[in-house]
Amino acid sequence: MVLSLVSLCAKEVVSDHSSSPCWLRWVPRELYRPLLEASFASCRPLAVGELVQRWPERTLRVGRRRKQGQTGPNRLCIQALLLAVVRGLSDKRCAMHVLDLCGLQGDEGGMGDPMGGWSLTVALCTMVVQARAGAQRERKRFSALERETNVKRERGQRKRGKETNGDNEASTDNKELGGNDRERMGSCGILGEEELIKGVRRRMEIERKREIAMTGLGGSSINETEEKDVNSDVLVHVRADLFVNARSWERVRGALSSMGPLKLQCRHLRVEEISVSSIRTLLGMLPRQSLLGIDVRYSSLGVAGLAELLPLLSTFPALNCLRLHYCNLDFRGDQPGQEEALRDLSQGLTQLQELRRLSLTALRLPGQLRVLLSSLPQPLEILELPYLSLSPADLAYLSCSHHASTLQQLDLSENHLDENTLTSIRRLLSQASSSLQHLSLSGCGITDGLLGLLLPTLGGCRALKSLALALNPLSIAGLVDLVRMAVRMPSLRQLLYPNPLEDYQPGLPDLPTSAQLLDWPLDEVTDINITSSQLNRVLIESGRTDLFLTCDLLNYDKDLVD
């Protein structure tokens, strides 16, 4: 990555923290962003704090999408940023009104010591609560000063009153004037008391509305006027992606229910291992306009629990993403109440007017895909259905549904494909040929014969950028045919291929499962680089230099091609 001259100069400026008092007072607002980025890149937390505390613009966005090979801010810099936001609340030089940290979190323990989603959520909630405590201390100090001023004013008024009453030489006009003055002073005192009462009543009313929103009973009925009243004391709106589990639940609830100079807003919510009632409470506390997506993982929702949550999700008008991973949606028609719960689930999905992304992982709902997807009012753009045990009827419906022609991403990993589903898969890929950009068929049991039947249809997907076929039982000959097809697809940038069967140690079954391919050791005698060299030779002969071939499943990332 080539740095611009401004970036190089900014990196040099922030490298010496001792010189910051000299240049901070003269820096124009246009250079704050390059200086902050240089501080993040060079890991200069002190410079980050000083810049953020004086931030000259209304909005500060830190979690912007990074380029390939570019690392995000490390933990120390993020902590310095959050502390500086609190300090900036009392700094007249700071003009910040919106702090956008969406997309900032990295993987816990990743390269460069990034701050993961859970740690960032806890740090944000701590910042919001600390800012509220600081505001309360400031109000108490101001109230004490105001009381002291009022006492001095009252003493002065009593003293002047005594002097007026004891002055027998004063004229009648002066007495009348003094009486008018006292009336004005008295009226001012009464007005001041009335204003104080109004202020107390207003704070009590705002607190009452916040309690209603916390219980989730009236969250969807709060109108715009009431929300403006609640937000009137907010100095900075903090937008972020939140990660909530049993350990962070209390802190998140405290931060969302607190009223202070910082208000926490959630763009994407990820919850893990918490109950349906806790998720209901959490949704009731979130601002309605900001939530774009929710990701529920490892929570025993059940079909009935999800049907209970969907009416709450429909109150978020911008919600466009719903992801459910290992949520124990085990549908069994022989159990009482399952059919009714499935109807409630279908009815709830009809209310998600803006849903464009749906991800269902290992939910065990075979034969029910039509019930789920036909209820959605808008066609999906991203559909992820790994480990779903899709039946031939499910794939047949999907290939003819209103979603097929609009799909941009499709993940059917770990769903078994064979000759019985071949017609449906080919029809589905033909319908999505002009829109599909990312396709994953990893672990689907695709053999050389089935791949040969699929290759013409795959080659017709003219918008495809990435294709994942890991953990399929293919031979070297099948892989060569795959690469020869791939080089004729001008839009394709990444191809994840499986290790060929010839690379494994003897004893592997003739048609191994994906789990067997994952666990079976590779043959140490066979040089794995031979397969890579053979495939790259096909790539070189075609003249393609923009197509990346890999068999590294763990480090594969389709988003790198966007």
Q: Which domains does the chain have, with CATH numbers?
A: 1-107+114-141+234-272 (no CATH), 401-414+430-561 (3.80.10.10)
pLDDT of residue 354: 93
List of residues 6+ apart from 157 with CB closer than 8 A:
185
* Backbone dihedral angles phi then psi of residue 301, each to the nearest 5 degrees: -75, -50
Q: Which of 185-194, 249-258, 269-278, 432-441 has the highest mean pLDDT?
A: 432-441
Mean pLDDT over 355-377 rounds to: 89
pLDDT of residue 207: 55
Q: Which of 18-27, 213-222, 234-243 has the highest mean pLDDT?
A: 234-243
Averaged pLDDT score across all residues of the chain: 82
The closest of 445, 397, 438 to 560, measured between CA atoms, is: 438
In this prediction, residue 190 has a pLDDT band, given cuts at 50, 70 and 90, of very low
List of residues 6+ apart from 101 with CB closer than 8 A:
62, 63, 120, 124, 238, 239, 240, 241
The closest of 430, 379, 434 to 401, measured between CA atoms, is: 379
d(CA 372, CA 370): 5
Whether the pLDDT of residue 170 is over 70: the answer is no
The closest of 321, 318, 227, 314 to 270, measured between CA atoms, is: 321
- In the structure encoding, which two tokens stand for residue 261, read together? 């100079």
Residue 459 buriedness (CB in 10 A; 0-12 / 13-18 / 19+): middle
d(CA 498, CA 475): 9
pLDDT of residue 331: 62
Residue whose entry in the numeric block shows the structure tokens 């719903």: 322
Residues 218-264 have pLDDT tens digits of: 444 444 444 454 556 789 999 999 999 999 999 999 999 888 899 99
Give the DSSP per-residue string, 49-100: HHHHHT--SSEEE--PPPPTT----BHHHHHHHHHHHHHHTT-TT----EEE
Higher pLDDT pick, 481 / 63: 481
Whether the pLDDT of residue 335 is over 70: the answer is no
SS3 491: coil
Mean pLDDT over 3-13 rounds to: 85
Mean pLDDT over 329-349 rounds to: 73
Please say whether the beta carbons of 94 and 217 come within 8 A: no
Give the DSSP per-residue string, 354-407: T--EEEEES---TT-HHHHHTT-SS--SEEE-TT----HHHHHHHHHSTTGGG-
Please say whether the beta carbons of 77 and 112 come within 8 A: no
Across 160-169, 392-401, 553-562, least confident range: 160-169
Higher pLDDT pick, 282 / 173: 282
Across 9-18, 192-201, 274-283, 296-305, least confident range: 192-201
Mean pLDDT over 354-383 rounds to: 90
> What pTM was computed for the model?
0.80
